[in-house]
């Protein structure tokens, strides 16, 4: 889309800076993500609707994952667009992810996760080959534009992200001790992605939920390709400054997921955000999103509202000043909406 700028990845591939997300953890306002007991938050009709609306509005970057169970609905929506001659494969940028640790049974009903703790390195490798090929089969698009390792390892408690307060050097986090066994499986999984990258079945490869140490170890452990992307939870409230600084210094593009705190942390009621929004005559959501995009961070957001999608796409006309950035930077806090912090993962 002409409205959404591209970010150039380290290998020259252009990635649209905004993506429509299709994760299943979509709660109704004021409800927990488990509000749909049969699907634990997965509403297939929303995937169909949001992908169609995003394409209609001119978005071309779709973010999914094997364990989201949304790849087949995405493929069907794209099929309609292809059938009507409204879209070509090369117009799209498709991100998917493999290597997700075990989840509750209702999530992992059809073997979309990897039992990384109990599999050998060789079994992890075999499982990743199987899962990569399954992503290609479910999407039916021939190749993916970006494939990520979904998580660095299993473990880590959700809901208590101890990211920095002021001054990153005072960060109260205890970095999880790196487990050599998990580290060996991580590089084995990464080499599977490198294989498919080398034969052209993905145009770029990256990681998700990795901290600086995880990234550094990949290179030390023999990665031939440095990850081109790291997708992490990032918002005005969870800023992960040290990870972002490391990524920027090493030419790793950062993609934020849950850029609005997924409705659990309310940007709509935040006085700092509201006053900046008023000053620029924009919505609080614009301020929260532009805080990221102005730093060169990309973002994947979920919405099945046409108005909200179009509004998010217009975020690039906003220009926050130094005072705004300073005030928003001070909102960094040490709690997330419930997923483990990258620093809790060994």
- Binding site, residues? 150
Instruction: Tell me the binding residues for substrate.
Output: 150
Helix/strand/coil percent split, the chain, to 5 = 40, 15, 45
Separation CA 58–CA 52 (nearest Å): 10
Short-list 132, 346, 150, 310, CA closest to 230: 150
Q: For residue 204, report the phi and psi dihedrals to the nearest 5 degrees.
A: -155, 155
- The tokens for 227 are 């990850």
Specify the pairing of strand 6-8 against strand 14-16. antiparallel
The structure tokens listed for 19 are 């993506």
Instruction: Determine which one of 68, 99, 197, 246 is catalytic.
Output: 68
Q: Output DSSP code: residue 199.
A: T
Tokens 């299709």 sit on residue: 22
C-alpha 53/C-alpha 311 separation (Å) is 12
Contact 43, 28 (CB under 8 A): no
CB 343 within 8 A of CB 315: no
φ/ψ (deg, to 5) at 27: -90, 150
Q: Collapsing DSSP states into helix, strand and coil, what is residue 330?
A: coil
Per the annotation, the verdict on 68 as an active-site residue is yes
φ/ψ of 198, rounded to 5, equals -65, -25
- List Cβ<8 Å contacts ≥24 apart for 81-88: 81/55, 87/55
Only one residue has tokens 């920095």, namely: 164
CB 163 within 8 A of CB 332: yes
Q: Which residues are catalytic?
A: 68
């Amino acid at each position: 889309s002409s409205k959404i700028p591209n970010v150039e990845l380290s290998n020259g591939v252009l990635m649209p800076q905004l993506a429509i997300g299709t994760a299943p953890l979509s709660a109704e306002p004021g409800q927990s993500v488990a509000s749909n007991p049969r699907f634990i938050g997965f509403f297939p009709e929303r995937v169909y609707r949001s992908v169609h609306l995003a394409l209609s509005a001119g978005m071309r970057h779709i973010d999914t994952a094997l364990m989201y169970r949304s790849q087949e609905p995405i493929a069907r929506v794209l099929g309609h667009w292809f059938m009507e001659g409204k879209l070509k494969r090369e117009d799209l940028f498709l991100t998917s992810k493999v290597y997700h640790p075990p989840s509750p049974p209702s999530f992992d009903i059809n073997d979309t996760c990897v039992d990384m703790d109990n599999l050998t390195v060789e079994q992890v490798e075999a499982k990743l080959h199987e899962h990569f090929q399954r992503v290609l089969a479910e999407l039916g698009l021939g190749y993916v534009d970006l494939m990520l390792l979904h998580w660095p390892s299993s473990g880590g408690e959700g809901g208590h992200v101890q990211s920095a307060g002021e001054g990153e050097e005072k960060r109260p986090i205890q970095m999880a001790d790196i487990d050599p066994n998990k580290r060996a499986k991580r590089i084995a999984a990464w080499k599977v992605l490198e294989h498919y990258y080398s034969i052209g079945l993905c145009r770029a490869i990256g990681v998700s939920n990795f901290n600086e140490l995880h990234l550094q170890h990949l290179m030390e452990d023999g990665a031939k390709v440095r990850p081109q992307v790291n997708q992490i939870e990032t918002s005005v409230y969870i800023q992960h400054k040290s990870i972002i600084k490391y990524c920027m210094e090493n030419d790793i593009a950062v993609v934020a997921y849950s850029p609005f705190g997924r409705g659990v942390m309310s940007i709509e009621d935040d006085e700092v955000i509201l006053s900046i929004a008023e000053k620029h005559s924009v919505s609080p959501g614009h301020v929260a999103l532009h805080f990221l995009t102005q730093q060169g961070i990309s973002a994947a957001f979920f919405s099945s509202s046409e108005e909200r999608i179009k509004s998010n796409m217009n975020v690039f006309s906003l220009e926050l000043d130094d005072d705004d950035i300073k005030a928003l930077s001070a909102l960094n806090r040490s709690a997330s909406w419930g997923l483990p912090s990258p620093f809790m993962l060994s």
